[in-house]
Amino acid sequence: MTKIRLITWNVNSVRARLAIIERLLDQYNPDILCLQETKVQDHIFPTDIFDKYGLKHHGLAGQKSYHGVATLSKIPISSTNRINWCEKGDARHIETVFDNGLMLHNFYVPAGGDIPDIVLDEKFAHKMNFITEMENWSHELPKNGKYILVGDLNIAPLETDVWSHKQLSKVVSHTPEECRALNSVKEAHNWIDVMRHFVPEPEQLYSWWSYRSRDWRASNKGRRLDHVWCSHGLKDNMKSMEVLEDARGWEKPSDHAPVLVDIEL
C-alpha cells in the first residue's frame, strides 16, 4: 500500500496567500495539493514555490484575475485535461491522471450570485447549468474507475452543513434547488461523500466562514462548501479526514479552510 495525503483548498488568490501556503506545506506535507480560485494565468503561476516542497508535477487551469484551479503533486502526472463547462471558457476544472491510475478532478463551481432564481440572476442560471453538466458527466464515468473529485462546489447540501438550515434555506449555496441538484450529481456516479463518511450527520461540519464575521470562530456561522468525493470502489482506501480550521485563523487567510484526506492505494 502507498500512503497519499491529499489537501484541497480554495485559497482565494494563490499569489496573495503564498506565506500561508508555505506554512501549510511545512506543517502537513501533502503529496497532492488541489487549489481553487487561484486567480492567475498559467504562465505566471508560482510553480517554483511548490517545486521546492517536492510538488513538481502540475495540472494548471488558470486565467487572469478570476477563478482558476491547480493540482500540484509529488506523484507523476501522466496527463491533464480541461473541460469547457457551459462553453464559458473559464478556468473551473482540471483533470489529472496519475501514473498509478488514479484520476483526480479538481473543481471550482460558480458561486451563483445573490438571487436563487435562474430567470432573475444569470449567475445563478450559470451555476445550475454547470451542476447539470456535472451530473451528465458523472453519469458517463465508468463505474469501476478510480476517481476522486475535490474542490469548492459552492453548495452546502445537508442541513448540518450550515449553521442555520432555517435561515439559509433561501440563501444561495443552501437552497433546496441547489441541494437537490448536487445530490443528483452524487447519485449519477454513486459518489462517496468522504467528509461525511468520517463525520456523519447529525454532527455539524463546515469549511467556510465569512470574512464579514469579526470573530468567525466564536460565532461559528459556517458552511461546508468544500468537498471530497470518491468512487464507490475507493471508499475503503480513505483512511482519515480533517478540516484544518486553524488555517482559517492564520495571517491574511482565505475564507475557506483546507480539507485533508489520507488515502492508501
What CATH number has the domain bearing residue 62? 3.60.10.10
Looking at residue 24, what is its pLDDT?
Answer: 98
Q: What is the pLDDT of residue 31?
A: 98
Question: Rounded CA gap, 85 and 92, in Å?
Answer: 8
Q: CA–CA separation, 194 vs 10, rounded Å?
A: 18
Q: In this predicted structure, what is the pLDDT of residue 41?
A: 98
Please count the structural domains in the chain.
1
pLDDT of residue 226: 99
Mean pLDDT value across the chain: 97
C-alpha cell at 17: 496567500
In DSSP notation, 136-199 reads HHHHHS-TTS-EEEEEE-----SGGGBS-HHHHTTSTTS-HHHHHHHHHHHHHHT-EEHHHHHS
Model confidence over 226-261: pLDDT tens digits?
Answer: 999 999 999 999 999 999 999 999 999 999 999 999
Look-up of cell digits 483533470: 95
* pLDDT above 90 for 213: no
Backbone torsions φ then ψ of 152, nearest 5 degrees = -90, 100
* Reported pTM: 0.98
Q: Can you give the pLDDT at residue 214?
A: 84
Least confident among 19-28, 197-206, 207-216, 235-244: 207-216
| pLDDT at position 1 | 85
26-55 confidence digits (pLDDT tens): 999 999 999 999 999 999 999 999 999 999
- Containing structural domain, residue 199: 3-264
